């Protein structure tokens, strides 16, 4: 079999290896690289640890039935609205309602546990709503100046930040800005899909020591997936369903872990 070099191994391969989704030959090639590349091996370890956290936090979200009262509320919608909007997208609507119901019922318990305080999730949602609706000036620095944007935000926050590449999931970088936080300045990166759906990733310095804790919440109708990693807090916000936001959050986390590994 042809020897595969480290340069041929992508982040996608590392994720697939951690998820045990590679075929036998590709898995063997990746394992050879991991044996020689400590940074790549560390990235796989981080991905597997993240998988465990995600299963602990969200397996219930993926398996719990949609509450009957929410289904009943949909069925009571006016007939015209049902045919025009609800029926073609029922599966997506059901997933979104599941995220809302689980997020709301677990709100007081989940959001007040160890990790990022509730105020960060709420602030991230409000900040997302404020800037994602701005058609003319949603960001201070546009994606065409990405290097300058990242350098500027890193300097203002006092540590290196990164702008993940979300093109693989249909979201292109719009740009970013600095926003005021309750206690710390926050970097905001904005992304947009071809149908103009926007996501924001917000990053700020973590006050105190916190575990890597993954949380999901609904704040004022905005989904927020947020976590602590080392000395930083992250919040991914958007008006998308729970499952999609978690999948994008996983991609973001993997890219950030790989970027941090390359710095050490």
Strands 172-179 and 214-219: unpaired
Determine the pLDDT at residue 45: 81
Closest among 145, 194, 186, 142 to 170, alpha carbons compared: 194
Interior angle at CA 198, CA 107 and CA 174, nearest 5: 130
Distances (CA, A) of 54 to 40, 104, 153: 21, 18, 29
Determine the pLDDT at residue 125: 93
Determine the pLDDT at residue 8: 67
Q: At what angle do helices 38-63 and 11-18 cross, to 10 degrees?
A: 60
Provide φ and ψ at 237, rounded to 5°. -125, 145
Strands 186-192 and 222-229: unpaired
Question: Among all chains, which residue has been given the structure tokens 């899909």?
Answer: 193
- Distance, in Å, from the CA atom of 128 to the CA atom of 222, rounded to the nearest integer, reads 8
- Distance, in Å, from the CA atom of 65 to the CA atom of 91, rounded to the nearest integer, reads 13
The residues facing 142 across adjacent strands are 175
DSSP 178: E
Q: Are 188 and 233 in contact (CB under 8 A)?
A: no
Tens digit of pLDDT per residue, the chain (264 long)? 434 444 467 777 887 888 788 888 888 888 888 888 887 787 788 777 777 666 655 655 555 555 565 556 555 655 445 445 544 544 454 544 444 444 433 443 343 444 444 578 889 999 999 999 998 999 999 999 999 999 999 999 999 999 999 999 999 999 999 998 766 799 999 999 999 999 999 999 987 655 566 889 888 889 999 998 878 999 999 999 999 999 999 999 999 988 877 665
Our CA dihedral for 250, 253, 255, 256, rounded to 10 degrees, sits at 170
Determine the pLDDT at residue 69: 59
Give the domain 115-263 fold.
Answer: Phosphorylase Kinase; domain 1 (3.30.200)
The residues facing 179 across adjacent strands are 186
Question: What's this model's pTM, rounded to 2 decimal places?
Answer: 0.59
Q: Assign 3-class secondary structure to 191-236.
A: EECCCCCEEEEEEEECCCCCCCCEEEEEECCEEEEEEEECCEEEEE
Question: Among all chains, which residue has been given the structure tokens 């050490």?
Answer: 264
- Distance, in Å, from the CA atom of 152 to the CA atom of 146, rounded to the nearest integer, reads 10
- CATH 3.30.200.100 domain range(s) in the chain: 115-263
Determine the pLDDT at residue 61: 58
**Chain centre to alpha carbon of residue 127:** 16
- Distance, in Å, from the CA atom of 9 to the CA atom of 226, rounded to the nearest integer, reads 28
Q: Are 102 and 70 in contact (CB under 8 A)?
A: no
């Amino acid at each position: 079999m042809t020897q595969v070099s480290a340069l041929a191994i992508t982040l996608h391969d590392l994720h697939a290896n951690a998820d045990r989704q590679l075929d036998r030959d590709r898995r063997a090639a990746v394992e050879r690289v991991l044996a020689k590349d400590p940074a790549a091996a560390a990235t796989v370890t981080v991905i597997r640890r993240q998988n465990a956290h995600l299963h602990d936090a969200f397996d219930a979200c993926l398996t719990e039935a949609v509450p009957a009262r929410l289904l009943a509320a949909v069925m009571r919608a006016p007939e015209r609205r049902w045919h025009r909007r609800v029926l073609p997208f029922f599966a997506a609507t059901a997933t979104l309602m599941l995220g809302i119901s689980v997020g709301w019922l677990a709100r007081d318990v989940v959001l007040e546990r160890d990790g990022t305080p509730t105020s960060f999730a709420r602030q991230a949602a409000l900040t997302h709503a404020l800037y994602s609706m701005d058609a003319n000036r949603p960001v201070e620095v546009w994606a065409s100046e990405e290097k300058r944007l990242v350098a500027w935000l890193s300097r203002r926050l006092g540590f290196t930040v990164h702008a993940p590449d979300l093109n693989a999931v249909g979201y292109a970088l719009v740009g970013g800005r600095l926003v005021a936080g309750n206690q710390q300045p926050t970097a905001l990166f904005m992304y947009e899909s071809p149908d103009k759906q926007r996501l924001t990733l917000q990053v700020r310095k973590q006050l105190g020591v916190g575990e890597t804790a993954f949380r999901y919440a609904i704040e004022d109708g905005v989904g927020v997936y947020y976590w602590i990693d080392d000395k930083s807090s992250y919040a991914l916000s958007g008006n998308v369903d729970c499952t999609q936001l978690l999948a994008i959050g996983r991609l973001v986390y993997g890219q950030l872990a790989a970027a941090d590994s390359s710095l050490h």
